Structures are given as structure tokens and as C-alpha cells.
Amino acid sequence: MDTKSVPLENKNKIEMTENETQSLVAVCLGTGGIAAGGDKVFRKFEDEIKKLGLGAAVGKRVCKTAKTGCRGLCARDVLVDVTIPGQASLTYEKVTVDMVPQIIEEHLIKNTPVNKWLAKEDYHKFYDTQQRLVLANSGIIDPENIDEYIARGGYTALKKVLETMTQQDLIQEIKKSGLRGRGGGGFPTGEKWASGAKYSADEKFIICNADEGDPGAFMDRSLMESDPHAVLEGMIIGGYAIDATSGYIYIRAEYPLAVKRLRYAIQQAKERGFLGKNILQSNYSLDIFIKEGAGAFVCGESTALQYSIEGKRGMPRTRPPQSVEAGLWDKPTVLNNVETFGNVPIIINRGADWYSKIGTEKSKGTKIFSLTGRIKNPGLIEVPMGATIRQIVFDMGGGIPKKKKFKAVQIGGPSGGCLPESLLDSPIDYESLLSLGAMMGSGSFVVVDETACMVDMARFFMNFCANESCGKCPPCRIGTTLMLDILTRITQGQGEEKDLEVLEQMADEIKTMSLCGLGQSAPNPVKSTLRYFKDEYIVHIRDKICPTATCVALHRYEVVPEKCTKCQACVRNCPVKAISGSTKEVAFINKEKCIKCNLCYEKCNFMAIK
Amino acid sequence: MKTTHLVIDDKPIIAPEGTNIFQAALDNGIYIPGLCYHPKLSQFGGCRLCMVEVTERRTGHRFACAHPVSEGMIVKVNTPKVIRYRKSVMEYLLVHHELSCPICDKAGECSLQDITHELNQSPSRFKAVRMDYPMVRDNPVLELNRNRCILCGRCVSTCKEIEGIAAIDFQNRGIKTVVGTAFDRPLACSFCGGCVAVCPTGAWQDRTLGFKGRSWEFSKVPTICPYCSVGCTVILNTKLESVRRVTSDDYLGINEGNLCIKGRFGHEFIHSPERIKTPLIRKNGELSPTSWDEAIEYVAKRFQQIINEHGGTAIGGIGSEKCTNEDNYLFQKFCRSVLGTGNIDNMANIKSPALNGLIYESVINGITSASLKEIEHANTLFFIGADMTEAHPVAGNMARKAIRLNNANLIIANERGVQFNSIAKNDIRLKYALGSQVILINALIKVIIDEKLVDLKKVETSTNNFDKLRSLIDKFNREETSKITGVTQEVIRNAALLLTKSGNCYIICGKDIEENPLAEDAIRALMNLCSLLNPAYRGDAGSGKVSLFFSRSHNNSQGVNDVGVVPGFFPGYVNTNDVSNKEKVEKSWGVKFPDAILKKDAENVIDLALNSKLMALYIMGENLVVNYPNGKKIKEACKKIDFIVVQDTFLTETAQLADVVLPAATFAEKEGTFTNMGMTVQRLNRAIKPVGEAKPDWQIICSLAQKMGQSGSCVSTKEILTEIESISPVYAGINYDRLRRKEFHWASSVYNKNKSAKYTFGMVKTKSSEIKKNKDFPFVLLTGASLNHQGTFSRHSKSLISVAPECFVEINKKDAQVLQINNGDRVTVESAHNKLTLKAKVTSKLPERTVFVSEDYEWVPVNLLRDRVHTSVKIYKETV
């Protein structure tokens, strides 16, 4: 039995199960968990427990199964927690359906955990170094059960606000906390709410931006799947601050589980009086509606999002007027990100003073990051602002797998920048990242190792931006495509000397002239890779070589004459007859004709082609 | 209006608060390049060319069209940085824009060309890329070349905000973004051509132009459109004495550069090969060409003969709703002083005989005081019996402007459903039962009086007969009213509430009210209603205006009545019976009228013809045989007339019955003035020489007069208008030269000169008209205006025919089901007099047991079916 270094959350769980005198088997059912087979594992547990009638077999102990949301370490899914009353809960990782009967028999019945399947040392290290405030409930509670949320202190912030605080008090508190928008803009939330409260109209709206379009970002998704009520509570409090009459959650349609859980949560909240008319017997009423997106990254932009809710084409508009003055349907509108709302109940419950002690001077509180790419522990982490990149990548992320070297980390998705090894010790906060040429963005961390081509990476992100551009303004619509053309040419060995200069100029022009954030930040990946990895570009252009052998067009296939057995396997199979040779002659690949299909490499049994 | 002071390029500027920098610069003659901004449309901010350097609290770069002016702001339009960025945006645009200037009709008037040139672009850093989009050419008048489109969004905004149709929008995203229709269906809109007018490049093109000239070769002559009575200014583009296309100018005229399909694309009739090129005389039963001298001599001789044998009153005259004021004035002067007949009339008056008197009374009492353009400033609009979208589309655009900018309320009341696109937040649509319009209007009045929605005490002291009106309205029963009209009490009440809100309230009385046996009562009721809504009695006293507009069908339907082509009225609604009036006119014209011609007969010209009292008829600019409401009667009447002279542009059905046909010039070939439905007189400008041997109508009349012995020569339209000014009190003060700069609104001129008389409420009968239904003919035939056509001119414009080649009979969905009629089936509409076979169009807009056929398709003689306004007909499917 493993009782050392029990993480914080587990302590609460022990208390819960002690009171309950019930064994609890909790299965992670976030999207990652389900993808790994969590549904099946859950059902197997249910079936087996029912079959074995464990209630009777173990006397007083009744086993209950529960589902939880994502707890962040998706690489180790399916994660299953087994809690025996009176003992610390233990976590199994990578549980499959076949492992279920044994776990039940040995651990639940005989009370001997199956040690070989328990989570390893680094699992706990992953959680120890984090500060899970917003994600406090994620992976612990059943997201479809409002009572579990309430039992852990849910909706007390709302109660406190409605019963003891005026709008002004509330706005002051949020301002004092230093909370900044978590969607990427980093705009002080208190200020935004103060502006929103200023304008009066017959209708006012509070919107939650759950579009999360950045490739590689899934923080908002996890939060909504695992702890939807936290988001709702934050939103209702926000609504109260500005006196909103209705709320909308704009969520991308690609998140069906989150949509389902939110709908459920809204329904439950309404039943309990946390939504609807006269919330908690106060004078404040709010209804929240869900609007699903239709697959456009640009609709994550605030004004485009509002047009999308109105049923129009999602094309951003110029400001003035700002959304707080005339936004959705020309009414005063305040828009915040999912994670921002997730922070609000914490601030109210623990106080702005406590909250403002976390983080750096200008960036307060914690931030959830999604770690992806070449890293041992991909998943979600929540750290206080000011943590260094090194801590995140190596301590929590576990470092680079397969003993490869760290090369760069892309922070902020397609709007962000790549930072090299030399900047590993930089702290993560809004201002420092900007000065380095990156951007906090929504918080996606993509780690690449020495096998990644930075030019190709820049091209990938530029491709994304060019495809997602709404098409309204020439700098973004045409500029991104032209930059993409240049980058593509470079990766295909057709780069020219002046290309780098043109890229720099265009990056500047597109950034200055674009109408909305998409265009303004589209050149960032290119700019940052040019800044820190210029030599890679030069090698691609001048030498027509890709140092990491990623750019396929620059691959060169050559026969190693010594190893060639003249079997002609390659000659026969080459689809463009680029290989010459016979039983007497060593094979020779004509590089001009070669289309780099890789067939000869595969066919050669003698490793004679490189 | 608060103003802001700022400095643009070292020039101090004063601009109204809230203006954007671009507009402020535009208003003060400072040029900032921009492709997407347009003063008529809401801000887009997409082209990014209008970047300027702005110093407010700090110096930064802003995009002029999206940034409002602020006090003390300093703007620099052309700093080196700004120019560099503008050049880069232009460079991006030129990579994909198809540089087809040599074959593009836009060359010479293309904003892209202009700005590229002005920016002095250096060689591009990029290679041009061809997008190779196929041309979108699915309709006869508009084409879209997506390779030239720079996605400025102007056409999308125009279609959505001005026309209210939103037929086009952006499709796809990123570099693949294009402008198109939903699901790439063929363009199905009103074809107003607004997209072509605002397009800064050659993307949208007018197909009627089709390479017929380069923009710099055209002479551009602004004149007034010859179709409906809104009186839009059209710019005729001519080259080598032919009109090649029509464009519009945002700053000329009352239409702000908006036109409709007829105005913009319906110009091809001017050069149609069907134009009558020479005078024609019937010899041996056939009309054969002759010379002007011969024709004039013959006509003069015959007229004189008839005058000698039967007296002048045996000659009748029909003036034209389409000819100018000068043409019509001379026409009635000729008829009265040379021919010696007072038996003259015009179609507008024939269809609605009570209207002239009521209009005049409205003006005198201040009930009609606003000009048509003031609709743009309305706070509440009430269209009754009017189909704005079909009859007066550009006035509809003005209404939409009021809705968009003023948040105007809208009430539309008709006996059949009409289409009007609007985004009004308060939008009430009423369908009232056939013939119940008087009751409806009185019901509105009742609500206003009962619920004291206006200050009734003030009404009493400022008008006459109010107590009589009250007791009449008291007898009304609200429930019964609802039952008869088919409109619920709640809706009537809501409409009344909107009408009595403070602000400008404009009521437009439509064709269905005016050309109806109940016209006099209905209009009188509307006048009562208007008087009740006088701003002095409601809301903040004095703020806002109320005005009643009268729809007219043609470009000069108002003018022809103003200048006296009406039995019993001299020019300016001067009663012919009044002795002093008679003497004044006699003095001016130098004649002495016999008593006979001054009496107003109970019979109009056509009735006289039917009763064999007319020997000759002189018809100017009217296709009587098709337009007269009772087709059978008019044919009979024409048979009984010995000598018919028709003066027209085409060989219409009426001209084909004539003994002499005199070729007349179209609006493009002459000078003169038209008066629109809002009483505004506007000047035409001659664009080309008359086609063939055609002559302006007024010249023809002059020649005739001279031939018949009248002295004096006619030199110019200016002279004629000056004479009109001296005789017609409603045109007093008009000046031909001043008209070049500013139109003349006679209603406000009259209103300003006379302190408005105290209005006397008229007691209106409150029963609805009987619509005799009959077992054999169980349907009622309704008629009305149509967007794509209007009589002779549109019939000979091939683009309009392409867009709308067929006239349909509209039938209610339920009736269609019973009769098993589907869309497109050939259906016969038969009345007691005649029958017509047309293709059916099934709709839910019509009330049951009615059918609708448009009057505007000249080759479909609806009037043959009719004997009254609501003729009974029967419908059956054509069996093959």
C-alpha cells in the first residue's frame, strides 16, 4: 500500500469515502480517457461488480463506480482510481478491459493493490509540481452530477456574490485580483467588466468564448468536460457584474462531449435555482444558451463570434464601437474565455488578496497549459504564472522522450512563436513572452525535438492561418497565402536569396495592416523562427538541404554502391524509372527524375539505399 | 448637431460628432485612398488602404473609415510609413487581380487603376497568379467577373442595406473567398444594378453596355428617368449620338445614385428599330410614310374642317402621363385656344377623377407638404394600398434608409400581400378585405380618438367639424370593424400607436386606393387621419412632420395634371368656371374662350366618343387602347371616331388605329421638366438628337398651331416654362435656369406662400364597396404595377424582356389546389367580355378567390377583361 506523498485532492477524497463507507472506483472519462477506451473499462467495471454482487461478498462494503473528467495526464489513460474507505486512494494507469477482473478481485475484494499496474513515480511528480486551482475538480468529480460539485464548495461563490456584494464590490474585487483574460489577449478582466457595467440597454449579454481553435489546445475542452459548473458559476457571476440579461456559450461543434456536459449542467443548474429567474432568491435573473460553432477558427475572434451567434458570416468588424458598448445585436456585450470564468469562483471564495499573491507582478494567478508534441507526459497542467519553460517541459512534462534533444517550444499556437533552448529559463507571463517574440495565446505548448524542421513548422502554422483567414482584408487573405507560397517553395528547394527579406517585410506589413487578431498574429511563427532559427532557413535556401530530413522534397535518395547486390528490386519497382542498373551494374538513382516516393528504400533488403 | 474640430494635412476641418475621418476628409475635398468605404453604406473597413497617421493623445496609425473624429485630432494622410503600407496592400491586391484593362469595360473609371497609378507602385515582389474563376453570367443584365473582384464588400452591403434583398454574400474563406449567391443558384434579385454602380473595379458589369464604348468616350448627361413617378436622376452615357448605357450619380438628384431595373437597364428602347421614324398617314387603309409638311398640313386641314362643321368641342384631346410639362402645357393650350375644345383629359385623371381636387386641398391645408426625398427622414412610415417594391422601388430604398438610420417604424396595409424587405423593429403588415379600406382608416381614427392618443382639445380648436367627425366615429363598432376588414383589433391598435409616436410620420397612398370606386372616401379619410396626426397635437409639440403622399404611376402623371390637361381646370388647378380665372388666362394667351369649352361635362372624352359626340381625337403619348381600364369600351369608342391623330414613339395598338401618326422624341432627345409624385419639378437634359425624323412633342404641337393660324413662334422649353410660371399658381416662382441646380418642390412653395387653411374634416361614408360576386364568375380580378415592365418603353427594351419575358396570372395556393393548377400551367382568365391565357404563378399572398394580373405588360391587354376596378372572372386550366 502506497501512502507516501498523497496529493492534495486525494486527501479530500479520503474524507469523502470515509464518510461514505463505500469503495469507489473512479474512471477518467474525459475525451482522452474515452479515446483510450475509458467507456469500455467503465462498463466492464460496472458489469463485473454487478456480476460478483460485491455488496454481499464483502459484507458492509458496497462498491460504487463513478466517472470523472479529465485529470490531465492523458498519456496514461485510462486512469482509474480505487478508493477503499479508510485508506488513501490509489491510481491505476493504462487500464484495459482485461485488467478489470484482476483489479476487482485483488484490490477491491482482497484489499491488495495490483502494484505492477499502479501509477508510477512520475505520475505523482506530474501533479505535485502543479498548482491546480481551476482544475481542482477535474478528474475528481463526476461532471454530470451537480451535487458532487456543490459538495466540494460549488456555487458558494455565487451565493456570496448575490447575497453580500454589489456589482461595484464584485468588479473591484476582480480588478484587485489582477485576473487577465485567458483566451490570449490578456486584457484585465476587471476593467472589461467595469466597462460592460457602464452601458445600459434593454438587453445585455455575457458571452463565454469556448471556440478554442488553436491546434493543440484543449484546456477549455477539458475544463468544460470535467467541471462545467465551474465555468457556469464564473459566467453567472460575470453576468451579475454587468447586469447581463442573457448569456451565450459559443462552443465549437467539434467538442460534442463538452456540449453535452454543458447542456446537462445548465439544466441541472436551472433546476437548483442557480440559473433562470431570481437566482437564489435574489433580484438577478440570467439564462444561458449554447450556440455551437460551424468549424471556423476566425469565429473565436470576439466580433466574428458575435456575428456567428447572430446567424451571420463570421467576419470580424472594425472597432469602434467596442463590443462592451455595442456588441451582440448591437447591445452591450462582455466576452470572456472559458478559463477566465473558471478562475472567478476561486477569486471570490479565497479572496483577491490571496489570488494576487500567485503569479508575477503583472500576470496574476495560474494558467492551464496543454503540453503536446515530443514530450514524455503530454496532457494538461496548471501552473502559477512565472513558472519557467524549463519547469514545464522537463519537470512536469518529463522531458523529451527517446533521449532526443530539446529544440524549441511553440507557445500560443498559430498566433505564437517558437522559443529555442537558450530561452528555457524564461518565466511564463504575458509581457515576457511578448518581448521574446512569442505570445501566451490560449496556452498551447508544442514541444519539438531535434528531428523537427523549423521551416516546416512555420509553414504548417502559416498554412493553418491562410486556410482559416476570413477573407475580408487583403493583408491577411492574400498576404498569408503569399507568405505560405514562399515558405512552401523554400521547403521544396526552390527558395531564393531575397525570400528572407521579403518574409520579414511581409510579416511587418501583415501585422500592421490586418483588421483582426488572426491576421495580426499570423506572421508570428515565421517571425520567431526567423529570429531564432535563421540558419535553418539559410540552409534550405542556399544549400537546398533540410537538416532534419523533414522536408520531403529535399530528400535525396542515393544508392550505397558497396551494399548494392544488383538484385534490381529497386529498378523494377521505381514508378518513374529513375533508377538505372542491371545484374552487372550497381544501381544508380537519377535525382532529377526521383519523386521521393520512398519505394526503393522500402524494397531494398540490403539497406543499400539511403 | 455637435461639431468637432480637427486638422487634416494642416487644414482645419469642422466635422459633425461621430463622423469617421474618411468621411470628414471626403466632405472637405481631401483625398484619402480607399476602395471599400462608401458614404451610402455601413462601414466595412476591409480594404485597409485608408491608413493614416493620427495624433490624439498619442500618435499612432488608424484606418480612417473606421475611426471617429475627436476634438483636436491631428491627421496626416501621406506620411512615408503610411504610403509604404498602402503600397504593400495594393501590391497584394494586384497579385491575383486579373489585369485585363484592355478588355475591361471599367477602364478609365476604375478605382483600382486610379489608386495603383496614384500610389506609384514599384515592381512587385511577387509573380502574378491567375485565379481563373469562370465568369458568372446567369442573367441578361449583370455579370460578375470574380477574377477582378477585390472583395471590398460594397455590393454585398448594397444588396443587403439598400435593396434589402441580400441576394449575394461572401462564400468560402481565405484566398478562396468570392462573392456569390447562396449555393451558386442563378441570381434572383430585383436587378437594380446597385452592385454595378458601387463596384470599384470591373468585377460587376452592366451587360447592356457590353464593350460599346470606353468610359472616357462617353458624354454623360444627367436627366430624369422616363418610367415611374419617383423621378430618379439617370446619367445617359452617349457616344456618337447613341445612348450606350445608364449610370447613376450619388450626388445628383433625389435618388442618391439608386436606380431600379427599368431606370438602369431599360434604355434600349431609345434605339429600338421599332421606333417610328417618319410621320405616317393612312392611305387606302394602310399607314404609309410621309413628310412632316404633308402630315402637319393634313392634320391642320382636317381639324379645321371639323371645327367649321361641328364646332371645336367635337375634337377631344388626351394628354400624356409620360410627356414633359412643356409638352402637356402646350397640348392643353392648343386644344383650348386653337381647337376651341375643353374636352381634354389624361389617363391619371380618368382612372382617378377625384384625385386632383383632393391633392390640391391636401397641399393647401398643409397635409401634403414634404418632398419625396424626405421619406429618408421618416420615423414612421405607413404604406396603404401601395406596392412600393413593384411600383416605386427607389422610394422603397428611401424608406429602408429611414428604417436603417432612424429606426423608423413601418406599417404596410394592402388588400393582397405585397413584398417589402425591411429590418424595421416595429413592422406591422395588414391585409384588409377587398373594399374595406375606408373602414380600416376610420378604425385607426377611432382608436386614436377613443384612447386620446393625440391632444383632442388642440385638434378641436385648430380644425373645423371635429365634433361632427367624433360623432360619426362614435357610431363605429370596433368588433364589427375587425370582422369586416379582417384585421384584429389588436393589430389596428398597434398601428395607431405607432402612427401617433412623435417624429416624422409619412403616409403613402397607393394605386389600390386611388384607382378604386371608393377613392374619394378613402383619400378623404386619409386626409382626416393625417390632420389628426399633426405634430402639433402629438408627442413633443412641433417636433416632426406629417405628410400624405399620393402614388402616381408614370414619370409625369403629376405634371400632366398640374399643367391643366384636365377638363374643368386651367393650369394649376384653377377652376375654369371662375370668371376672373378665365379672364386672366384669356389675357395671357391672347384669346377669347367661348362658354362652351369652360363647362365641365359630366361625360369624359371617352364617354363622349361612345355617345358619338366626338369627331376627332388627338392622342399624345398614350396607348389608350391598352391602358384605358375598360378595353371593350375604348375599342368601341375608337371605332366611332372619324379622325384619330396619335403622336407617339412607337406604333402602339392605339397608333395602329390612327389616321395620322406623328413620330415623337423620347425623353433622351428633348428638354423639358417632369413632376414626380412628391410634387417636385425636375429638369431634363437632352442627350442625343432625335432619332429618325422624330420631334419633341411640344415642337409638333407648335407646328400644328402655327399651321392653324396661331401667331408666335416657339423657340424653347424655357419660354414655355416661363409662361407656365406666369399662369399656373402652383408653379409660381419656378425658374428654368435655377432648375439646373435645384429641383422645385411646388407643394412646399405653395404651402409657404399661404398660411395653411384650417382643415375641415370631411364626413366619410363608412360602408365598404360592394364587390359583386357572381356564380359564373366567382373570382375577382386584381391588377397592379410590376417592377420589370411599364408599358411601351419597357416592351421595346430587350434586356427587360429577357429578364421578364412573360406575364403571369397569380393565383392563391388553396384555389390552385382545388383547380389542380400548378406553377407554370397555362390558365385562362375569362370575364364577361373577353379572355386571356397566361401562365400561372401560385402564391400565398393573394386573398382567396382572387387572381392578379399585372397591367404593365403592354402586350397582355388586361383591360379587355375589365369593366370596372374589381371585375369578376372565372379561371380554368387550359386543356391541351
Average pLDDT over residues B544-560: 94
Run of H or E residues at B608: helix B605-610
Cα torsion A86, A92, A96, A102: sign: negative
Q: Which carries the bigger pLDDT value, residue B451 or residue A89?
A: B451
CA neighbor of A69 nearest in space, from A37, A38, A108: A38
Residue A163 is placed in which grid cell?
Answer: 447575497
Length of chain B as a residue count: 880
pLDDT at A270 over 80: yes
pLDDT at B227 over 50: yes
Q: Is the peptide bond before B33 cis (omega within 30 degrees of 0)?
A: no
In B, minimum Cα distance to A484 occurs at B175
Q: What's the CA gap between B568 and B620, in Å, rounded?
A: 19
Interval B506-533: pLDDT, tens: 999 999 999 988 899 999 999 999 999 9
CA dihedral B262, B265, B268, B269 (to 10 degrees): 0
CB contact under 8 A, B43 and A466: no
Cβ burial, residue A174 (10 Å; 0-12/13-18/19+) = buried
Cβ(B64)–Cβ(B20) under 8 Å? yes
Mean pLDDT of the residues in chain A: 84
Q: What's the CA gap between B146 and B152, in Å, rounded?
A: 12
pLDDT at A7 over 50: no
Interval A100-109: pLDDT, tens: 888 777 777 7
Average pLDDT over residues B431-444: 92
A318 contacts on B by Cβ (under 8 Å): 43-45, 63, 65-66
Average pLDDT over residues B308-323: 93
The pLDDT of residue A12 is 38
The pLDDT of residue A14 is 36
In A, minimum Cα distance to B20 occurs at A320
pLDDT at B600 over 70: no
**What residues 163-192 of chain B have any CB closer than 8 A to a CB of chain A?**
169-170, 172-177
Cα torsion B685, B686, B688, B692: sign: positive
Interval B460-490: pLDDT, tens: 888 888 999 998 888 888 888 899 899 999 9
Range name among A591-595, B130-134, B379-383 with the lowest pLDDT average: A591-595
Three-state SS at B872: strand
CA neighbor of A248 nearest in space, from A281, A206, A204: A206
Chain A contact for B124, CB < 8 A?
A: no
Cβ burial, residue B102 (10 Å; 0-12/13-18/19+) = exposed
Q: What are phi and psi of A521, to 5 degrees?
A: -110, 0
Interval B657-684: pLDDT, tens: 999 999 999 999 999 999 999 999 999 9
Strands lying side by side in the sheet with A22-28:
A62-68, A22-28, A80-83, A90-92
Average pLDDT over residues A22-43: 76
Q: What's the CA gap between B16 and B219, in Å, rounded?
A: 36
Q: What's the CA gap between B259 and B682, in Å, rounded?
A: 16
pLDDT at B756 over 80: no
pLDDT at A474 over 70: yes
Interval A510-568: pLDDT, tens: 999 999 999 999 999 999 999 999 999 998 898 888 888 778 777 777 777 777 777 77
Chain A contact for B151, CB < 8 A?
A: yes
pLDDT at B216 over 90: yes
Q: What's the CA gap between B478 and B440, in Å, rounded?
A: 10
Mind telling me how many Å the CA of A364 is from chain B's nearest CA?
28
Range name among A144-158, B41-55, B602-616, B830-844 with the lowest pLDDT average: B602-616
CB contact under 8 A, B92 and A320: no
Average pLDDT over residues B578-591: 85
pLDDT at A291 over 60: yes
Residue A26 is placed in which grid cell?
Answer: 473512479
Range name among A448-452, B308-312, B738-742 with the lowest pLDDT average: A448-452
The b/e string for B641-671 (b: 16+ C-beta within 10 A; e otherwise) is: bebbbbbbbbbbbbbebbbbbbbbbbbbbbb
Run of H or E residues at A83: strand A80-83
Mind telling me how many Å the CA of B94 is from chain A's nearest CA?
10
Average pLDDT over residues B545-565: 94
CB contact under 8 A, B173 and A471: yes
Residue A3: pLDDT band with limits 50, 70, 90: very low
The pLDDT of residue A174 is 94
**459484507: which residue's cell?**
A59
Interval B24-33: pLDDT, tens: 999 999 999 9
CB contact under 8 A, B174 and A482: no
Range name among B40-49, B188-197, B866-875 with the lowest pLDDT average: B866-875
Cβ(B551)–Cβ(B507) under 8 Å? no
Residue B578: pLDDT band with limits 50, 70, 90: confident
**459559443: which residue's cell?**
A250
User: B431 pairs with which residues across the strands?
Assistant: B414
pLDDT at B363 over 60: yes
Mean pLDDT of the residues in chain B: 91
Do β-strands A62-68 and A22-28 pair in parallel, antiparallel, or remain unpaired? parallel
Partner residue opposite A474 with nearest CB, options B89, B170, B176: B89
A26, A102, A108 from A45: Cα distances, Å: 10, 11, 11
pLDDT at A328 over 90: yes
B51 contacts on A by Cβ (under 8 Å): 513
Q: What's the CA gap between A49 and A68, in Å, rounded?
A: 18
The pLDDT of residue B513 is 93
The pLDDT of residue B489 is 93
**What residues 63-102 of chain B have any CB closer than 8 A to a CB of chain A?**
63, 65-68, 85, 88-89, 92-93, 95-96
Average pLDDT over residues B162-166: 93
Q: What's the CA gap between B125 and B95, in Å, rounded?
A: 9
Q: What is the CA radius of gyration of chain B?
A: 29
The pLDDT of residue A58 is 38
Q: What's the CA gap between B800 and B804, in Å, rounded?
A: 6
Q: What is the pTM of this model?
A: 0.88
**Mutating which of A482, A486, A498, A508 best tests the B interface, going by the most B Cβ atoms within 10 A?**
A482
pLDDT at A63 over 60: no
Cβ(A205)–Cβ(A364) under 8 Å? no
CB neighbours (10 Å) of residue B722?
13
How much helix, strand and coil, in percent to the nearest 5, is found in chain B? 35, 20, 45
Cβ(A252)–Cβ(A314) under 8 Å? no
Percent of chain B residues past pLDDT 90, beyond the cut: 74
Range name among A54-63, B66-75, B272-281, B803-812 with the lowest pLDDT average: A54-63
Partner residue opposite B85 with nearest CB, options A469, A502, A513: A513
Residue A424 is placed in which grid cell?
Answer: 528555457
Interval B683-735: pLDDT, tens: 999 999 999 999 999 999 999 999 998 776 677 899 999 999 999 989 999 99
Q: What's the CA gap between B147 and B132, in Å, rounded?
A: 7
Q: What are phi and psi of B566, to 5 degrees?
A: -140, 135
Length of chain A as a residue count: 610
The pLDDT of residue B66 is 92
pLDDT at A317 over 80: yes
Q: What's the CA gap between B680 and B559, in Å, rounded?
A: 9
Number of helices (H), then strands (E), belonging to chain A: the values are 26, 15
Residue A19: pLDDT band with limits 50, 70, 90: very low
In A, minimum Cα distance to B124 occurs at A502
Residue A64 is placed in which grid cell?
Answer: 460504487
Run of H or E residues at A239: helix A228-242
DSSP conformation class of A217: -
Q: What's the CA gap between B810 and A546, in Å, rounded?
A: 71
Three-state SS at B193: coil
First to last CA, chain B: 69
Partner residue opposite B169 with nearest CB, options A313, A317, A474: A313
In A, minimum Cα distance to B85 occurs at A509
The pLDDT of residue B770 is 66
HEC string for B470-513 = HHHHHCCCHHHHHHHHCCCHHHHHHHHHHHCCCCCEEEEECHHH
Cβ(B797)–Cβ(B268) under 8 Å? yes
Interval B97-113: pLDDT, tens: 988 999 999 999 999 99
Three-state SS at A307: helix
Q: What's the CA gap between A170 and A155, in Å, rounded?
A: 15
User: A26 pairs with which residues across the strands?
Assistant: A66, A81
DSSP conformation class of B564: T
Interval A360-397: pLDDT, tens: 888 999 999 888 888 888 888 888 998 888 888 888 88
Do β-strands B168-171 and B178-181 pair in parallel, antiparallel, or remain unpaired? antiparallel
A57, B236, B317, B689 from B692: Cα distances, Å: 112, 19, 26, 9
Q: What's the CA gap between B872 and B864, in Å, rounded?
A: 13
Q: How many CB pairs under 8 A join A and B?
A: 91
**514545464: which residue's cell?**
A392
**402612427: which residue's cell?**
B499
